[in-house]
């Protein structure tokens, strides 16, 4: 077993399984997708650590692969079916989209950083994943042309209610992400049913705020 294969196994056995992730499709995807391929060369040794890993170019705004266990637990809560169309928001270099693509029907991934979006598209092709389409778009805008989606996954956190993304869910659709509207931040599941949106908190979690989903600064007079 190669060094990265061993690290991948340790990530699943030491971070993901102990976080009550029991969906074998998610575990298999995380054992299969080479996370190191989505990480800059100088940071590949960090690919399987329990942290939010910055994959942006030097000097560019921070863009991350979120902690593996946080991603896995959110995907489990979303209950993604093999026929589902999924939107990954803030895909960074494409790792979350690659994991989802292993057990979803079709995946759309958006990223606000054009260079990272291009990187994501290239790496997904290199690792043999062909059911993901990558677009450059603001996180708050989603992918209106591809909507509606069965599931929307935030690859990061939001400090505002992402109502624009809610509108891109099918009836019966689900959105998962880390909501940092107040402290402590919590991973949450939003469900769309007959025009109404339910919100259920899942677990305490932190993740980098996605560009465009930051809280607007308040003015003090």
CATH code of domain 3-204: 3.40.50.150
The structural domains of the chain, with segments of one domain joined by +, span 3-204
Q: What percent of the chain has pLDDT over 70?
A: 98
| pLDDT for residue 119 is more than 90 | yes
- The residue-averaged pLDDT of 2-16 equals 95
CB 156 within 8 A of CB 90: yes
- Whether 133 has a pLDDT exceeding 70, the answer reads yes
pLDDT tens-digit readout, 66-98: 999 999 999 999 999 999 999 999 999 999 999
Residue 161, pLDDT above cutoff 80: yes
52-64 pLDDT per residue, tens: 999 998 888 899 9
Average pLDDT, the chain: 95
Q: How confident is the model at residue 219 (pLDDT cuts 50, 70, 90)?
A: low
Asked whether the predicted pLDDT for residue 221 surpasses 70, the reply is: no
């Amino acid at each position: 077993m190669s060094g990265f294969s061993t690290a991948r196994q340790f990530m699943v056995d030491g971070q993901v399984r102990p976080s009550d992730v029991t969906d074998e499709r998610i575990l298999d995807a995380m054992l299969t997708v080479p996370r190191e391929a989505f990480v800059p060369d100088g940071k590949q040794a960090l690919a399987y650590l329990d942290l939010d890993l910055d994959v942006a170019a030097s000097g560019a705004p921070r863009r991350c692969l979120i902690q593996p266990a946080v991603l896995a637990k959110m995907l489990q809560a979303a209950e993604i079916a093999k026929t589902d169309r999924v939107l990954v928001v803030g895909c960074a270099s494409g790792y979350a989209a690659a994991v989802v693509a292993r057990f979803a029907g079709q995946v759309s991934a958006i990223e606000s950083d054009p260079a990272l979006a291009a990187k994501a598209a290239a790496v997904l092709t290199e690792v043999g994943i062909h059911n993901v389409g990558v677009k450059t778009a603001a996180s708050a805008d989603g992918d209106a042309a591809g909507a509606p989606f069965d599931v929307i996954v935030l690859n990061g956190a939001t400090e505002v209610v992402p109502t624009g993304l809610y509108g891109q869910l099918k009836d019966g659709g689900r959105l998962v992400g880390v909501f940092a509207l107040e402290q402590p931040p919590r991973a949450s599941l939003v469900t769309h049913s007959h025009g109404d949106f339910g919100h259920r908190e899942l677990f305490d979690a932190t993740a980098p705020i996605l560009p465009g989903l930051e809280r607007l600064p308040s003015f003090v007079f």
